[in-house]
Structure 1
Protein backbone atom coordinates (compact mmCIF):
# COMPACT_ATOMS: atom_id res chain seq x y z
CA UNK A 1 0.00 0.00 0.00
CA UNK A 2 1.40 3.39 -1.00
CA UNK A 3 2.18 6.07 1.59
CA UNK A 4 0.68 8.71 -0.69
CA UNK A 5 1.05 11.87 1.40
CA UNK A 6 4.71 11.28 2.27
CA UNK A 7 5.67 10.31 -1.29
CA UNK A 8 3.86 13.32 -2.77
CA UNK A 9 5.51 15.81 -0.40
CA UNK A 10 8.91 14.25 -1.07
CA UNK A 11 8.55 14.36 -4.88
CA UNK A 12 7.34 17.96 -5.00
CA UNK A 13 10.15 19.07 -2.71
CA UNK A 14 12.73 17.42 -4.97
CA UNK A 15 11.32 19.36 -7.91
CA UNK A 16 10.69 22.78 -6.32
CA UNK A 17 12.84 22.93 -3.14
CA UNK A 18 9.57 23.88 -1.38
CA UNK A 19 7.10 22.01 0.79
CA UNK A 20 3.77 20.70 -0.47
CA UNK A 21 0.56 20.43 1.50
CA UNK A 22 -1.23 17.14 0.78
CA UNK A 23 -4.21 18.34 2.83
CA UNK A 24 -5.12 21.79 1.40
CA UNK A 25 -8.85 21.30 2.09
CA UNK A 26 -8.17 20.40 5.71
CA UNK A 27 -5.04 22.29 6.72
CA UNK A 28 -4.50 26.01 6.27
CA UNK A 29 -0.74 26.63 6.44
CA UNK A 30 -0.17 30.27 7.39
CA UNK A 31 2.78 32.64 7.40
CA UNK A 32 4.32 32.49 10.85
CA UNK A 33 3.24 28.93 11.61
CA UNK A 34 5.88 26.89 13.41
CA UNK A 35 6.24 23.20 14.23
CA UNK A 36 7.81 20.08 12.75
CA UNK A 37 7.26 17.68 9.86
CA UNK A 38 5.92 14.19 10.45
CA UNK A 39 8.41 11.62 9.16
CA UNK A 40 5.49 9.20 8.68
CA UNK A 41 3.09 11.37 6.62
CA UNK A 42 5.09 14.42 5.47
CA UNK A 43 2.47 16.66 7.08
CA UNK A 44 3.62 19.91 8.69
CA UNK A 45 2.36 19.58 12.25
CA UNK A 46 1.67 23.14 13.40
CA UNK A 47 2.33 23.89 17.06
CA UNK A 48 1.53 27.61 16.95
CA UNK A 49 1.94 30.87 15.07
CA UNK A 50 4.19 33.82 15.81
CA UNK A 51 1.22 36.15 15.29
CA UNK A 52 -0.72 34.50 18.12
CA UNK A 53 -1.14 36.70 21.25
CA UNK A 54 0.49 33.96 23.32
CA UNK A 55 3.65 34.12 21.21
CA UNK A 56 3.89 37.89 21.62
CA UNK A 57 4.47 37.29 25.33
CA UNK A 58 7.51 35.14 24.46
CA UNK A 59 8.78 37.86 22.15
CA UNK A 60 8.27 40.54 24.81
CA UNK A 61 10.45 38.53 27.19
CA UNK A 62 13.39 38.55 24.78
CA UNK A 63 12.99 41.72 22.71
CA UNK A 64 10.55 44.04 24.43
CA UNK A 65 10.26 46.34 21.38
CA UNK A 66 8.94 44.33 18.43
CA UNK A 67 5.16 44.11 18.12
CA UNK A 68 4.41 41.62 15.36
CA UNK A 69 0.93 43.09 14.98
CA UNK A 70 2.74 46.06 13.37
CA UNK A 71 4.52 43.75 10.90
CA UNK A 72 1.73 41.64 9.41
CA UNK A 73 2.29 39.33 6.41
CA UNK A 74 2.38 40.89 2.95
CA UNK A 75 0.20 39.47 0.15
CA UNK A 76 1.75 39.94 -3.30
CA UNK A 77 -0.07 40.35 -6.60
CA UNK A 78 -1.32 37.42 -8.67
CA UNK A 79 1.29 35.38 -10.52
CA UNK A 80 0.96 33.21 -13.61
CA UNK A 81 -0.48 29.73 -13.17
CA UNK A 82 1.90 27.45 -11.29
CA UNK A 83 2.08 23.98 -12.83
CA UNK A 84 4.88 21.58 -11.96
CA UNK A 85 5.49 17.84 -12.19
CA UNK A 86 8.14 15.64 -10.66
CA UNK A 87 10.97 14.19 -12.73
CA UNK A 88 9.66 12.43 -15.83
CA UNK A 89 6.15 13.91 -15.59
CA UNK A 90 5.13 16.05 -18.57
CA UNK A 91 2.38 18.60 -19.05
CA UNK A 92 1.14 18.72 -22.63
CA UNK A 93 -1.35 20.48 -24.86
CA UNK A 94 -4.94 19.80 -23.80
CA UNK A 95 -6.35 16.91 -25.86
CA UNK A 96 -9.19 15.06 -24.08
CA UNK A 97 -10.51 13.39 -27.25
CA UNK A 98 -14.19 12.55 -27.29
CA UNK A 99 -14.53 13.48 -23.61
CA UNK A 100 -14.36 17.21 -24.35
CA UNK A 101 -16.67 19.21 -22.11
CA UNK A 102 -19.04 22.00 -23.12
CA UNK A 103 -17.65 25.48 -22.50
CA UNK A 104 -14.02 24.38 -22.74
CA UNK A 105 -13.29 27.52 -24.78
CA UNK A 106 -13.82 29.54 -21.58
CA UNK A 107 -11.37 27.48 -19.51
CA UNK A 108 -9.06 29.44 -17.24
CA UNK A 109 -6.56 26.57 -17.35
CA UNK A 110 -6.39 23.39 -19.44
CA UNK A 111 -3.59 20.87 -19.86
CA UNK A 112 -2.88 17.17 -20.14
CA UNK A 113 -0.51 15.43 -17.74
CA UNK A 114 1.40 12.32 -18.80
CA UNK A 115 2.91 10.07 -16.14
CA UNK A 116 5.56 7.37 -16.43
CA UNK A 117 5.00 3.64 -16.51
CA UNK A 118 6.33 1.76 -13.45
CA UNK A 119 7.33 4.93 -11.60
CA UNK A 120 5.49 7.22 -9.19
CA UNK A 121 5.05 10.79 -10.31
CA UNK A 122 3.49 13.88 -8.74
CA UNK A 123 2.01 17.08 -10.07
CA UNK A 124 0.73 20.34 -8.59
CA UNK A 125 -1.33 23.04 -10.29
CA UNK A 126 -2.22 26.37 -8.67
CA UNK A 127 -4.41 28.86 -10.51
CA UNK A 128 -2.89 32.36 -10.39
CA UNK A 129 -1.32 32.01 -6.92
CA UNK A 130 -0.28 34.89 -4.69
CA UNK A 131 2.70 34.75 -2.35
CA UNK A 132 2.12 35.76 1.25
CA UNK A 133 5.27 36.35 3.29
CA UNK A 134 6.94 38.14 6.19
CA UNK A 135 7.55 41.83 5.49
CA UNK A 136 11.12 42.87 4.92
CA UNK A 137 12.82 44.25 7.98
CA UNK A 138 13.35 43.04 11.52
CA UNK A 139 10.89 40.17 11.88
CA UNK A 140 13.43 37.37 11.39
CA UNK A 141 15.90 39.13 13.69
CA UNK A 142 13.38 39.36 16.51
CA UNK A 143 12.22 35.77 16.08
CA UNK A 144 15.78 34.47 16.21
CA UNK A 145 16.10 35.63 19.81
CA UNK A 146 13.10 33.60 21.03
CA UNK A 147 14.52 30.43 22.65
CA UNK A 148 11.23 28.55 22.27
CA UNK A 149 11.82 28.43 18.51
CA UNK A 150 14.98 26.38 18.92
CA UNK A 151 14.72 23.25 16.75
CA UNK A 152 11.37 24.43 15.39
CA UNK A 153 10.58 25.01 11.71
CA UNK A 154 8.91 28.28 10.76
CA UNK A 155 6.90 29.18 7.65
CA UNK A 156 8.00 32.55 6.13
CA UNK A 157 6.22 32.23 2.74
CA UNK A 158 2.98 30.59 1.61
CA UNK A 159 1.51 30.29 -1.88
CA UNK A 160 -2.22 31.11 -1.65
CA UNK A 161 -4.67 30.27 -4.43
CA UNK A 162 -8.36 29.97 -5.30
CA UNK A 163 -8.03 26.69 -7.19
CA UNK A 164 -5.58 23.80 -7.03
CA UNK A 165 -5.11 20.27 -8.36
CA UNK A 166 -2.68 17.72 -6.92
CA UNK A 167 -2.00 14.14 -7.93
CA UNK A 168 0.24 11.16 -7.15
CA UNK A 169 0.36 8.63 -9.98
CA UNK A 170 -0.26 4.87 -9.89
CA UNK A 171 2.74 3.80 -12.01
CA UNK A 172 0.42 2.82 -14.87
CA UNK A 173 1.56 5.43 -17.40
CA UNK A 174 -1.75 7.24 -17.08
CA UNK A 175 -2.71 10.48 -18.83
CA UNK A 176 -5.01 12.98 -17.12
CA UNK A 177 -6.79 15.89 -18.78
CA UNK A 178 -7.60 18.84 -16.52
CA UNK A 179 -9.56 22.03 -17.15
CA UNK A 180 -10.64 24.85 -14.87
CA UNK A 181 -13.99 26.25 -15.98
CA UNK A 182 -16.30 29.04 -14.82
CA UNK A 183 -19.24 27.54 -12.92
CA UNK A 184 -22.43 27.35 -14.94
CA UNK A 185 -25.10 29.99 -14.41
CA UNK A 186 -25.26 33.74 -14.72
CA UNK A 187 -22.98 35.84 -12.55
CA UNK A 188 -20.57 32.98 -11.85
CA UNK A 189 -17.55 34.23 -13.80
CA UNK A 190 -15.61 34.62 -10.54
CA UNK A 191 -16.46 31.08 -9.38
CA UNK A 192 -14.58 28.13 -10.80
CA UNK A 193 -14.98 24.39 -11.12
CA UNK A 194 -12.57 21.63 -12.15
CA UNK A 195 -13.26 19.17 -14.96
CA UNK A 196 -11.27 16.00 -15.58
CA UNK A 197 -11.67 12.95 -17.78
CA UNK A 198 -10.23 10.68 -15.07
CA UNK A 199 -11.64 9.13 -11.92
CA UNK A 200 -8.38 8.10 -10.29
CA UNK A 201 -7.42 7.75 -6.66
CA UNK A 202 -5.04 10.37 -5.25
CA UNK A 203 -6.35 13.14 -7.52
CA UNK A 204 -7.46 16.07 -5.37
CA UNK A 205 -8.95 19.32 -6.64
CA UNK A 206 -10.51 22.33 -4.96
CA UNK A 207 -11.93 25.76 -5.77
CA UNK A 208 -13.11 28.78 -3.83
CA UNK A 209 -13.96 32.40 -4.57
CA UNK A 210 -11.20 33.53 -2.18
CA UNK A 211 -7.50 32.73 -1.70
CA UNK A 212 -8.04 30.11 0.99
CA UNK A 213 -5.82 27.22 -0.15
CA UNK A 214 -2.13 26.89 0.70
CA UNK A 215 -0.77 23.96 -1.38
CA UNK A 216 2.88 25.08 -1.27
CA UNK A 217 5.08 26.86 1.27
CA UNK A 218 8.65 27.41 2.40
CA UNK A 219 10.16 26.46 5.73
CA UNK A 220 13.26 27.62 7.61
CA UNK A 221 15.00 27.03 10.92
CA UNK A 222 17.65 28.78 12.99
CA UNK A 223 21.33 28.42 12.20
CA UNK A 224 23.15 27.87 15.51
CA UNK A 225 25.48 30.77 16.25
CA UNK A 226 29.10 29.75 16.83
CA UNK A 227 30.94 31.49 19.63
CA UNK A 228 33.78 33.69 18.33
CA UNK A 229 37.34 32.41 18.69
CA UNK A 230 38.41 35.51 20.61
CA UNK A 231 36.92 35.46 24.11
CA UNK A 232 36.26 39.19 24.15
CA UNK A 233 34.65 39.28 20.71
CA UNK A 234 30.86 39.70 20.85
CA UNK A 235 28.52 37.19 19.24
CA UNK A 236 27.07 38.94 16.18
CA UNK A 237 23.39 39.85 16.13
CA UNK A 238 21.40 38.08 13.40
CA UNK A 239 20.49 40.28 10.45
CA UNK A 240 17.07 39.75 8.85
CA UNK A 241 16.99 36.17 7.46
CA UNK A 242 20.76 35.78 7.39
CA UNK A 243 20.82 33.38 10.35
CA UNK A 244 18.06 31.12 9.10
CA UNK A 245 18.50 28.08 6.85
CA UNK A 246 16.36 25.85 4.66
CA UNK A 247 14.82 22.76 6.20
CA UNK A 248 15.66 19.23 5.04
CA UNK A 249 13.35 16.19 5.17
CA UNK A 250 13.37 14.34 8.50
CA UNK A 251 12.98 11.01 6.68
CA UNK A 252 15.36 8.69 4.85
CA UNK A 253 15.24 8.27 1.05
CA UNK A 254 11.95 6.71 -0.06
CA UNK A 255 11.10 3.96 -2.51
CA UNK A 256 8.34 4.34 -5.12
CA UNK A 257 5.62 3.52 -2.59
CA UNK A 258 6.74 6.07 -0.02
CA UNK A 259 8.42 3.55 2.28
CA UNK A 260 11.96 3.93 3.56
CA UNK A 261 14.47 2.41 1.13
CA UNK A 262 16.81 -0.19 2.69
CA UNK A 263 20.21 1.34 3.45
CA UNK A 264 23.18 -0.94 2.94
CA UNK A 265 26.53 -0.48 4.62
CA UNK A 266 29.25 -0.16 1.98
CA UNK A 267 31.68 -1.85 4.35
CA UNK A 268 29.42 -4.87 4.81
CA UNK A 269 31.05 -8.09 3.71
CA UNK A 270 29.40 -9.85 0.78
CA UNK A 271 29.19 -13.61 1.03
CA UNK A 272 29.49 -15.54 -2.26
Structure 2
Protein backbone atom coordinates (compact mmCIF):
# COMPACT_ATOMS: atom_id res chain seq x y z
CA UNK A 1 0.00 0.00 0.00
CA UNK A 2 1.06 3.56 -0.61
CA UNK A 3 0.00 4.55 2.89
CA UNK A 4 -0.36 1.62 5.26
CA UNK A 5 -0.93 4.06 8.09
CA UNK A 6 -4.07 5.57 6.57
CA UNK A 7 -5.64 2.15 5.87
CA UNK A 8 -4.93 0.87 9.38
CA UNK A 9 -6.28 4.04 10.97
CA UNK A 10 -9.39 3.92 8.78
CA UNK A 11 -10.12 0.29 9.68
CA UNK A 12 -9.80 0.91 13.43
CA UNK A 13 -11.85 4.13 13.29
CA UNK A 14 -14.71 2.36 11.49
CA UNK A 15 -14.90 -0.14 14.36
CA UNK A 16 -14.35 2.04 17.43
CA UNK A 17 -15.10 5.64 16.37
CA UNK A 18 -11.63 6.33 17.79
CA UNK A 19 -8.45 7.12 15.88
CA UNK A 20 -5.42 4.87 15.96
CA UNK A 21 -2.03 6.43 16.55
CA UNK A 22 0.23 4.89 13.88
CA UNK A 23 3.26 5.69 16.04
CA UNK A 24 2.12 4.89 19.63
CA UNK A 25 5.35 6.15 21.28
CA UNK A 26 4.46 9.57 19.86
CA UNK A 27 2.57 11.39 22.60
CA UNK A 28 -0.95 12.61 21.94
CA UNK A 29 -2.52 14.52 24.81
CA UNK A 30 -6.03 15.49 25.85
CA UNK A 31 -6.64 19.04 24.65
CA UNK A 32 -4.46 18.77 21.54
CA UNK A 33 -5.84 20.60 18.52
CA UNK A 34 -5.04 20.06 14.88
CA UNK A 35 -6.10 18.31 11.70
CA UNK A 36 -5.80 14.88 10.09
CA UNK A 37 -3.29 14.44 7.27
CA UNK A 38 -5.29 13.23 4.29
CA UNK A 39 -2.37 11.29 2.83
CA UNK A 40 -1.18 9.43 5.94
CA UNK A 41 -4.15 9.60 8.31
CA UNK A 42 -1.93 10.83 11.13
CA UNK A 43 -2.75 13.66 13.50
CA UNK A 44 -1.19 16.99 12.53
CA UNK A 45 -0.59 18.67 15.90
CA UNK A 46 -1.09 22.45 15.99
CA UNK A 47 -1.24 23.19 19.72
CA UNK A 48 -2.96 22.33 22.97
CA UNK A 49 -5.63 24.33 24.76
CA UNK A 50 -3.81 23.83 28.08
CA UNK A 51 -0.52 25.31 26.85
CA UNK A 52 0.32 28.63 28.48
CA UNK A 53 1.37 30.06 25.11
CA UNK A 54 -2.04 29.18 23.70
CA UNK A 55 -3.92 30.91 26.51
CA UNK A 56 -1.64 33.94 26.50
CA UNK A 57 -2.94 34.80 23.04
CA UNK A 58 -6.24 35.81 24.64
CA UNK A 59 -4.81 37.80 27.54
CA UNK A 60 -7.27 39.32 29.98
CA UNK A 61 -10.26 38.34 27.83
CA UNK A 62 -10.30 34.91 29.53
CA UNK A 63 -12.52 34.91 32.59
CA UNK A 64 -11.96 31.19 33.26
CA UNK A 65 -8.61 29.71 34.24
CA UNK A 66 -7.87 26.34 32.62
CA UNK A 67 -5.41 25.61 35.39
CA UNK A 68 -8.27 25.11 37.84
CA UNK A 69 -8.48 21.49 38.95
CA UNK A 70 -12.08 20.98 37.78
CA UNK A 71 -11.12 21.97 34.22
CA UNK A 72 -8.03 19.75 33.99
CA UNK A 73 -8.09 16.43 32.08
CA UNK A 74 -9.71 13.61 34.03
CA UNK A 75 -8.08 10.20 34.41
CA UNK A 76 -10.66 7.46 34.81
CA UNK A 77 -9.93 4.28 36.71
CA UNK A 78 -10.26 1.17 34.58
CA UNK A 79 -10.41 -2.44 35.67
CA UNK A 80 -9.83 -3.94 32.21
CA UNK A 81 -6.70 -6.04 31.86
CA UNK A 82 -6.73 -5.39 28.14
CA UNK A 83 -8.67 -3.94 25.23
CA UNK A 84 -8.86 -5.84 21.94
CA UNK A 85 -10.06 -4.04 18.81
CA UNK A 86 -10.51 -5.60 15.38
CA UNK A 87 -11.92 -4.51 12.05
CA UNK A 88 -14.50 -6.38 10.03
CA UNK A 89 -13.19 -9.72 8.81
CA UNK A 90 -10.87 -10.19 11.80
CA UNK A 91 -11.45 -12.37 14.84
CA UNK A 92 -9.29 -11.69 17.92
CA UNK A 93 -8.97 -14.06 20.87
CA UNK A 94 -6.98 -12.99 23.93
CA UNK A 95 -6.02 -15.44 26.67
CA UNK A 96 -4.55 -14.15 29.93
CA UNK A 97 -2.29 -16.81 31.45
CA UNK A 98 -0.78 -14.53 34.09
CA UNK A 99 0.10 -16.08 37.43
CA UNK A 100 0.57 -14.68 40.91
CA UNK A 101 3.62 -13.37 42.71
CA UNK A 102 6.66 -15.63 42.67
CA UNK A 103 9.51 -16.00 45.15
CA UNK A 104 11.27 -12.96 43.71
CA UNK A 105 8.32 -10.62 44.45
CA UNK A 106 7.33 -10.37 40.80
CA UNK A 107 4.12 -11.30 39.01
CA UNK A 108 4.47 -13.22 35.77
CA UNK A 109 2.36 -11.70 32.99
CA UNK A 110 1.59 -13.85 29.99
CA UNK A 111 -0.87 -12.61 27.41
CA UNK A 112 -1.56 -14.67 24.27
CA UNK A 113 -3.27 -13.11 21.26
CA UNK A 114 -4.61 -14.98 18.22
CA UNK A 115 -5.87 -13.04 15.18
CA UNK A 116 -7.72 -14.81 12.38
CA UNK A 117 -8.14 -12.84 9.15
CA UNK A 118 -11.07 -13.84 6.93
CA UNK A 119 -10.80 -10.88 4.57
CA UNK A 120 -8.01 -9.62 2.35
CA UNK A 121 -7.26 -6.60 4.49
CA UNK A 122 -7.92 -6.41 8.23
CA UNK A 123 -6.52 -4.73 11.31
CA UNK A 124 -6.30 -5.56 15.01
CA UNK A 125 -5.04 -3.67 18.05
CA UNK A 126 -4.54 -4.95 21.62
CA UNK A 127 -3.76 -2.71 24.60
CA UNK A 128 -2.61 -4.16 27.93
CA UNK A 129 -3.71 -2.38 31.12
CA UNK A 130 -5.33 0.60 29.32
CA UNK A 131 -5.76 3.97 31.02
CA UNK A 132 -8.34 6.54 29.88
CA UNK A 133 -7.93 10.31 30.12
CA UNK A 134 -10.55 12.76 28.87
CA UNK A 135 -11.70 16.37 28.94
CA UNK A 136 -13.89 17.19 31.94
CA UNK A 137 -17.66 17.27 31.57
CA UNK A 138 -18.00 20.95 32.38
CA UNK A 139 -19.97 23.69 30.62
CA UNK A 140 -17.39 26.26 31.68
CA UNK A 141 -14.86 24.55 29.40
CA UNK A 142 -17.15 25.00 26.41
CA UNK A 143 -17.76 28.66 27.25
CA UNK A 144 -14.02 29.11 27.30
CA UNK A 145 -13.57 27.34 23.97
CA UNK A 146 -16.01 29.79 22.39
CA UNK A 147 -13.42 32.47 23.00
CA UNK A 148 -10.93 30.36 21.00
CA UNK A 149 -13.20 30.30 17.92
CA UNK A 150 -10.58 31.78 15.57
CA UNK A 151 -7.91 29.29 16.67
CA UNK A 152 -10.24 26.27 16.69
CA UNK A 153 -12.32 26.89 13.60
CA UNK A 154 -11.78 24.09 11.07
CA UNK A 155 -9.71 22.02 13.50
CA UNK A 156 -10.35 18.98 15.70
CA UNK A 157 -9.87 18.58 19.45
CA UNK A 158 -8.50 15.47 21.16
CA UNK A 159 -11.11 14.75 23.84
CA UNK A 160 -9.97 11.29 24.96
CA UNK A 161 -6.69 9.38 25.02
CA UNK A 162 -6.21 5.72 25.87
CA UNK A 163 -2.65 4.98 26.94
CA UNK A 164 -0.99 1.75 28.04
CA UNK A 165 2.38 0.22 28.98
CA UNK A 166 2.20 -2.50 26.30
CA UNK A 167 0.48 -2.83 22.94
CA UNK A 168 0.52 -4.82 19.71
CA UNK A 169 -0.93 -3.75 16.36
CA UNK A 170 -1.21 -5.84 13.20
CA UNK A 171 -2.58 -5.35 9.68
CA UNK A 172 -2.82 -8.31 7.34
CA UNK A 173 -2.90 -8.13 3.55
CA UNK A 174 -3.75 -11.80 2.98
CA UNK A 175 -7.06 -13.56 3.47
CA UNK A 176 -7.16 -16.66 5.65
CA UNK A 177 -4.10 -15.77 7.69
CA UNK A 178 -3.60 -16.64 11.36
CA UNK A 179 -1.36 -14.43 13.48
CA UNK A 180 -0.11 -15.34 16.94
CA UNK A 181 1.66 -13.10 19.43
CA UNK A 182 2.33 -13.21 23.16
CA UNK A 183 3.57 -10.89 25.87
CA UNK A 184 5.83 -12.28 28.58
CA UNK A 185 6.86 -10.01 31.44
CA UNK A 186 7.92 -10.09 35.07
CA UNK A 187 6.23 -7.28 36.95
CA UNK A 188 7.76 -5.94 40.19
CA UNK A 189 5.29 -6.10 43.12
CA UNK A 190 4.22 -3.90 44.78
CA UNK A 191 4.87 -1.07 42.34
CA UNK A 192 1.60 -0.13 40.68
CA UNK A 193 3.34 -0.70 37.35
CA UNK A 194 1.37 -3.04 35.10
CA UNK A 195 4.21 -4.17 32.83
CA UNK A 196 7.86 -3.83 33.61
CA UNK A 197 11.20 -5.31 34.26
CA UNK A 198 13.44 -3.69 31.64
CA UNK A 199 14.96 -6.75 29.91
CA UNK A 200 12.35 -9.06 31.48
CA UNK A 201 9.54 -8.21 29.08
CA UNK A 202 9.09 -9.02 25.41
CA UNK A 203 6.59 -9.61 22.63
CA UNK A 204 7.02 -12.65 20.40
CA UNK A 205 5.03 -13.19 17.22
CA UNK A 206 4.53 -15.45 14.23
CA UNK A 207 5.18 -14.27 10.68
CA UNK A 208 2.52 -12.11 9.04
CA UNK A 209 1.82 -10.94 5.49
CA UNK A 210 1.44 -7.28 6.32
CA UNK A 211 2.64 -5.17 9.23
CA UNK A 212 2.89 -5.68 12.96
CA UNK A 213 4.25 -3.44 15.68
CA UNK A 214 4.55 -3.83 19.42
CA UNK A 215 5.97 -2.10 22.46
CA UNK A 216 6.36 -2.58 26.20
CA UNK A 217 7.55 -0.40 29.04
CA UNK A 218 7.32 -0.01 32.81
CA UNK A 219 5.03 3.00 32.42
CA UNK A 220 1.95 3.72 30.24
CA UNK A 221 3.93 5.76 27.72
CA UNK A 222 2.14 4.51 24.59
CA UNK A 223 -0.92 6.26 23.13
CA UNK A 224 -2.48 3.82 20.63
CA UNK A 225 -6.02 5.27 20.62
CA UNK A 226 -7.55 8.72 20.87
CA UNK A 227 -10.87 10.40 20.16
CA UNK A 228 -11.36 13.49 18.02
CA UNK A 229 -14.33 15.83 18.19
CA UNK A 230 -15.27 18.61 15.80
CA UNK A 231 -16.68 21.81 17.33
CA UNK A 232 -20.19 22.39 15.92
CA UNK A 233 -21.01 25.61 14.01
CA UNK A 234 -23.48 26.47 16.77
CA UNK A 235 -20.54 26.92 19.12
CA UNK A 236 -19.49 30.01 17.16
CA UNK A 237 -22.97 31.38 16.42
CA UNK A 238 -23.13 33.16 19.75
CA UNK A 239 -20.12 35.20 18.61
CA UNK A 240 -22.03 36.69 15.70
CA UNK A 241 -25.23 37.25 17.66
CA UNK A 242 -27.21 34.37 16.17
CA UNK A 243 -29.25 31.98 18.26
CA UNK A 244 -27.18 29.23 19.84
CA UNK A 245 -28.46 25.68 20.46
CA UNK A 246 -27.03 25.19 23.93
CA UNK A 247 -28.40 21.65 24.22
CA UNK A 248 -26.09 20.51 21.44
CA UNK A 249 -22.96 22.53 22.13
CA UNK A 250 -22.91 23.07 25.90
CA UNK A 251 -21.17 19.72 26.47
CA UNK A 252 -18.28 18.43 24.37
CA UNK A 253 -19.64 14.87 24.49
CA UNK A 254 -22.53 16.07 22.28
CA UNK A 255 -20.21 17.24 19.52
CA UNK A 256 -19.85 15.25 16.32
CA UNK A 257 -16.99 12.81 15.97
CA UNK A 258 -14.35 13.91 13.48
CA UNK A 259 -14.87 12.52 9.99
CA UNK A 260 -11.95 11.30 7.86
CA UNK A 261 -10.81 13.79 5.19
CA UNK A 262 -10.66 11.03 2.55
CA UNK A 263 -13.23 9.15 0.50
CA UNK A 264 -13.92 5.45 1.27
CA UNK A 265 -10.77 3.36 0.82
CA UNK A 266 -10.43 0.14 -1.16
CA UNK A 267 -8.46 -2.94 -0.04
CA UNK A 268 -5.26 -1.36 -1.30
CA UNK A 269 -5.73 1.71 0.84
CA UNK A 270 -6.48 3.99 -2.11
CA UNK A 271 -9.52 6.23 -2.33
CA UNK A 272 -12.17 4.29 -4.21
CA UNK A 273 -12.34 5.53 -7.82
CA UNK A 274 -15.82 4.06 -8.32
CA UNK A 275 -17.06 6.06 -5.34
CA UNK A 276 -15.44 9.24 -6.71
CA UNK A 277 -16.96 8.70 -10.14
CA UNK A 278 -20.43 8.08 -8.72
CA UNK A 279 -20.14 11.19 -6.59
CA UNK A 280 -19.30 13.27 -9.67
CA UNK A 281 -22.18 11.72 -11.63
CA UNK A 282 -19.91 10.08 -14.17
CA UNK A 283 -20.92 7.01 -16.14
CA UNK A 284 -19.30 3.93 -14.64
CA UNK A 285 -17.72 1.13 -16.65
CA UNK A 286 -18.77 -1.90 -14.57
CA UNK A 287 -17.16 -4.41 -16.99
CA UNK A 288 -13.71 -3.10 -16.09
* TM-score, length-scaled by structure 1: 0.83
Cα distance between partner residues in 2 of 1:246 and 1:185: 39
Report if the CA contact (8 A) 2:9-2:19 is conserved.
yes
- Which residue is 1:89 aligned to? 90
1:58–1:85 Cα change, 3 Å: same
Is 1:174 aligned to residue 187 of structure 2? no
Is 1:8 aligned to residue 17 of structure 2? no
- Which residue is 2:155 aligned to? 152
- Which residue is 2:64 aligned to? 66
Report the more deviating stretch, 215-224 or 65-74: 65-74
SS in 1 for 2:145: helix
Compute the displacement of 1:173 (Å).
Answer: 2.5
Deviations 1:114-150 (CA, angstroms, capped at 9, x unpaired): 1125x10000100020110112212233113312111
1:6–1:269 Cα change, 3 Å: closer
Cα distance between partner residues in 1 of 2:54 and 2:66: 10
Report the more deviating stretch, 142-151 or 183-192: 183-192
Report if the CA contact (8 A) 1:183-1:193 is conserved.
no
1:132–1:57 Cα change, 3 Å: same
Cα distance between partner residues in 1 of 2:47 and 2:284: 49
Of 264, 267, 271, 2:277 maps to: 264
Bigger share in strand: 2
Compute the displacement of 1:58 (Å).
Answer: 3.4
Compute the displacement of 1:172 (Å).
Answer: 4.3
Equivalent residue runs for 1:9-158 within 5 Å: 9-25=9-25, 27-60=26-59, 62=61, 64-70=62-68, 71-80=71-80, 81-92=82-93, 106-117=108-119, 119-137=120-138, 138-147=140-149, 148-158=151-161
Bigger share in helix: 2
Cα distance between partner residues in 1 of 2:118 and 2:146: 44
SS in 1 for 2:113: strand
Cα distance between partner residues in 2 of 1:184 and 1:134: 31
SS in 2 for 1:219: strand
1:134–1:59 Cα change, 3 Å: farther
Deviations 1:72-124 (CA, angstroms, capped at 9, x unpaired): 21111134110011001012366xxxxxxxxxx9444212111125x100001
Report if the CA contact (8 A) 1:31-1:133 is conserved.
yes
5+ unaligned residues in a row in structure 2: which ranges? Answer: 96-106
Cα distance between partner residues in 1 of 2:227 and 2:242: 34
Report the count of equivalent residues. Answer: 257
Of 205, 229, 234, 1:196 maps to: 205
Compute the displacement of 1:4 (Å).
Answer: 0.6
Report if the CA contact (8 A) 2:7-2:265 is conserved.
yes
1:171–1:133 Cα change, 3 Å: same
Report if the CA contact (8 A) 1:221-1:245 is conserved.
yes
Report if the CA contact (8 A) 1:79-1:130 is conserved.
no
1:145–1:110 Cα change, 3 Å: same
SS in 1 for 2:67: helix
1:227–1:130 Cα change, 3 Å: closer
SS in 2 for 1:249: coil
